[in-house]
Structure 1
Amino acid sequence: MIGLARLDNDLAGWLDRTLVVPGVLPPERFEEAFVAIVTSGAPDPDDAWLAFYRNTLDALRGDPEPGGTNAELKPVHERAADLAVGSVLELGTCFGFLALRLAEAGHEVIATDLVPGTVGLLDRMAPRLGLAVDTLVADARAVPLPDGSVDTVLAVHLLEHLPAEEGKAVVAEALRLARRRVVVAVPFEEVPNETWGHVTTFDEAALDELGAATGLPYEISLHHGGWLVIDR
């Protein structure tokens, strides 16, 4: 059993470095091992998850351990928060750390993901953290919401998990849902990271092609990976 004080998202990077990369843990067993370790932290699994959320959010607000997963996420989340305007829909929210940060900053937030388990977890944890986030189980390529539902749609570290054509469909859906802005962020990798479920790599040229295909004004920038911002 791991102590509650040690439960945070850096556990993911530790598992990858110490077990997956050396070949001890197959990538397809990563998620199972991660969940087992977190939920071992308390008799009630939700108490363990709450500690995991609180510790991770504290790290993302403060000074994360150098080289850890939180240290990688923090500048990405800060950039996304700077780019978000008005109400926000996040596609592929996973645990929902970014959605919670935006809610804490005063945005109205809808967080969506394809996986019911993570959406349900976020739905349970947000009230216990004192934050309001609406959640929705949805495929990012076909979200059951009306056109122009929100001001900003975020797809932060989502498209690398999808084949290229599906990524284009996500951008098209984001543009349908956004009144003002779509923000896409991706890591730049030479080889997709199998542990994290990546299947597509990106560079500046790929992002430029994605933006040009929309026919709308867009900007490409580099900040701990690549960013595509499309303004309607």
Structure 2
Amino acid sequence: MKFGVIVFPGSNCDRDVAYVTRDILQQPTRMVWHQDTDISDLDVIIIPGGFSYGDYLRCGAIAKFSPVMQQVIAHSISGKLVLGICNGFQVLTEAGLLPGALTRNRDLHFICDRVPLKVEKNSLVWTQQYSKGEIITLPIAHGEGRFYASEDTLKAIEDNDQVVFRYENDNPNGSLNNIAGICNSTGNVVGMMPHPERASDTMLGNTDGLKMFAGLLEKVAAMV
């Protein structure tokens, strides 16, 4: 399985993701510059955290117009896998690949912390190694992580079982319905504010995030 990690001007978690896929999991990984227009060789696209294009205008608002995002959209439409982490989640909502929007945190402060999450959906290739209802701990680092959607859109997300993770106990940013991560209706596109790549190495004292990537590889291996 070959991973592609999108690199925008301002991305700062791209190498963290690549370290997990390439060095820990030993999978071919290509860093994809935002101006690239050919990602046909890639199986999985990951849009990492950071501040794409300096987060001018709105987080992810400029990134959605980059040449590579047209290819990511086509990649997702074909049924291939896409994961957006933090700023990547913001980019996916701006590009229309996921519903809703990410807005300023409730208290208007940047938050850097570790938070407990409840796994709401473990039927995805990304989450199959978790148990439904399992509580895991992942880092967050964002100023615009409050998930927002209209009443109708929020109801559709809930009714269609598109919530992947919720903040447990304490909602750090005011996200509606405690939503920390969602997927599209077909489940091949996932966006989340917490950082699984920052909880995937034993040296960091937490490997709760590694199951996301390992679960994907397990699923692929079972299909071979």
TM-score (norm 2): 0.32
Bigger relative CO (Cα 8 Å, ≥ 6 apart) = 2
TM-score (norm 1): 0.32
Name which one, 1 or 2, has greater alpha-carbon Rg. 1
Structure showing the higher strand proportion among its residues: 2
Structure showing the higher helix proportion among its residues: 1
